[in-house]
Every structure is written in C-alpha cells, then in structure tokens.
Amino acid sequence: MRQSYVYIMTGRSDTLYVGVTGGLEKRVYEHKHMLLDGFTKRYNLTSLVYYEVHDDITTAITREKQIKGWRRSKKITLIESVNPHWRDLSEDW
C-alpha cells in the first residue's frame, strides 16, 4: 500500500492548515510555490511544521478530520511535541 500523510502548514499569519496527501513532497512544493488556489494560497501558508505517516489513505483522512476538529491550542501542542521551534520541516528537501 502507498503511504499517506497528514500535515500542517503555517505562515507569517500564524494560521494553521491541516491537510492530507499521498505525496507529501509534491504537495508541500505546490503550497510553497502557490500552485494551488485556495486557503493556503490566500493566507500564504508555506511552512511545513508537522506531518505524520499513515499506511493507508482511509486512516490518514480519519486522522485529518480528527485534528481539524481540535481547538487551536491542541494543534499547537501537537506541533510543539515534535517541532518545538516551528522549523520548516521541508527546508532541507
């Protein structure tokens, strides 16, 4: 099975975007270069601050919906549990 990813993007506005994809590097590239119309382009969300890997898309979608339902403070706690300095995790790609 192909791996799937749940990820969180942010930008200077501190807005958080939670998404799901089957190809994380490609999706982050699309966000960074504003190739996708929508929320992340409108708010200039170009920093990948969190991601997790799942073995199938169904599990990833379920997890994405769970995280999207959380309060902002809980999302921040999740991010800071693995990325306390909010580094762009894609900067070395």
Residue 1 has pLDDT above 80, yes or no: no
User: pLDDT tens across 3-61, in order?
Assistant: 999 999 999 888 999 999 999 999 999 999 999 899 999 999 999 999 999 999 999 99
45, part of any domain? yes
91, part of any domain? no
Q: What is the pLDDT of residue 13?
A: 86
43, part of any domain? yes
92, part of any domain? no
Q: What is the pLDDT of residue 28?
A: 97
State the CATH number of the domain containing residue 49: 3.40.1440.10
**Cβ-Cβ contacts under 8 Å for 35 (sequence gap 6 or more):** 29
User: By residue range, what is the domain housing residue 69?
Assistant: 4-82
**Cβ-Cβ contacts under 8 Å for 29 (sequence gap 6 or more):** 35
28, part of any domain? yes
| Domain count for the chain | 1
Mean pLDDT of 64-86: 98
